[in-house]
Structure 1
């Protein structure tokens, strides 16, 4: 019987290895799998490459992971915000590497990994520092830059509902990078607020099919909200 429900966050993350590339969902604070990030901190994996839309906010979530000093490199679109002081301090002191990727390219590079595409040409960043050292080509009179897929060893995503096969649905903007990251990783771990019986999810509404998901962990919504209020205070 297929049952991808993990007993705990710790058990779901137990196999994350040092040196892994970890894709972490979220757009700013929307859709951040905070409990999974906290679990990764507790798990202790080191020398990580993290892929996210930005480089952490405040002192919690992704910023807290960066603060442990166990992230070697971050690949993101927006490394600087008013509250990205953790990343800023690490970068200025030479303690973390940074690869900036335009947001559309970031999503497409992960989608390409999931779709088995070897590389693709994209016009974004042509003629800028971000294209330095990359192959370029003129196609139909327009200049393009060759981009390669980003594949993760593990993806951490936040979903709304899931079943024991790992089928997932998301809540509004919390969806963001979750689906493409789930496709692009060798293993995907998803937090959900509700575990439902097989057949409950409308097949037409399933965004991430269970074939892309390794484990799901149920996270109590009330506890999550309480923790958020406590951190905000």
Structure 2
């Protein structure tokens, strides 16, 4: 998943960045609202972590601006202000949850995972489809309750397609998710999709990823 982290404390910003990246996520870390506003225009964001006490434009104003621009991703507030008025103000500005500093990084990860699951329509830390179970916390896929061996790229593709099941996802969207601005072409993606299909069919006796000619790919099992 891709997270935007807006925190002016250098040490805390580095710590969050390290912990999330070490858990397999992509993070965009910036110290102020001005830089933060550019990120959603350049990349698809799954959730944002925003400190309220930012220099210049406040965290509250940043949240309001992001919502006014039409960004619907979940927003988690970080604040050293524990009084209820600040929490209410942040939630009314468009945030989805808040944490008071200091906090435990494992709780932060759990809150983020829960927010992203709910925004995708899933309330549990698992996505199931036919014989397949996606463990979002462990980044693991099981077929008939047996763990599968997938590469990081294969897992990313499968998670995105399952989160958007029954929707056609175009090739460029998947390329951008995997490689950002590295300039990879669709041939690389086709190889990864082909390899993933073989693994799913061998483990689950079904091949749920369909090619929609001229449009992209479709995960054609209903996910719950």
Do the structures match in fold with TM over 0.5?
A: no
Q: Which has the higher helix share?
A: 2
If the TM-score is normalised by the length of the shorter chain, which range does it land in? under 0.3
Alignment TM-score, normalising by the size of structure 2: 0.26
Instruction: Determine which structure has greater relative contact order: mean sequence separation of CA pairs < 8 Å that are 6+ residues apart, divided by chain length.
Output: 1
Q: Normalising by structure 1, report the TM-score.
A: 0.25
